[in-house]
Amino acid sequence: MQKRERMISILAWFRLSRFYHESIRRSNQHLKKWDLTISQFDVLAQVGASEPISQQELAEKLLVTKGNVTHMLAKMEQLGWVKREREWKTKYITLTPKGKRMLEDVLPAQEQFQADQFKNLSFDEKKQLHELLKKLES
């Protein structure tokens, strides 16, 4: 790889990293209206989309360790948003009625908030960005 190509790759990584971190900061600020963090929102969204979901599957979807998810689930269980049930060696997580109401309330607003972060891009640019990011994952 040439020096110039390497440099543009590094600059792209820094720009992507900055965008991601700023997006997380803004999302946490936005979610304060519901006394939620972005991590708690992610749990609600993942569990809501896949319930019942095992604790291990949830950790994999969130890209965190099982220990991290255990800590977060304990807090969310205390808040009455999720319920954990053991089935032999596996713990399954579901949303409580309170958790479902929270997700129904927050999800449309958070989806719109996330979409608005790309408002300066045209539809074609958004499609191109999506394809480029998919290409980086392979």
Contacts of 43 (CB under 8 A, 6+ apart): 58, 62, 69, 72, 73, 76, 82
The CA distance from 15 to 99, in Å, is 35
The CA distance from 56 to 67, in Å, is 10
The CA distance from 103 to 34, in Å, is 10
Residue 100 has a pLDDT of 96
Q: Are 106 and 31 in contact (CB under 8 A)?
A: yes
75-80 average pLDDT score: 94
Q: Are 82 and 93 in contact (CB under 8 A)?
A: yes
Cross-strand partners of 92: 54, 85
Q: 15-62: per-residue pLDDT in tens?
A: 999 999 999 999 999 999 999 999 999 999 999 998 899 998 998 888
Find the radius of gyration of the CA atoms of the chain. Answer: 18
The CA distance from 104 to 9, in Å, is 40
Helix, strand, coil: what percent of the chain each, to 5?
75, 10, 15
Domains and CATH numbers, the chain: 3-137 (1.10.10.10)
Q: 93-132: per-residue pLDDT in tens?
A: 999 999 999 999 999 999 999 999 999 999 999 999 999 9
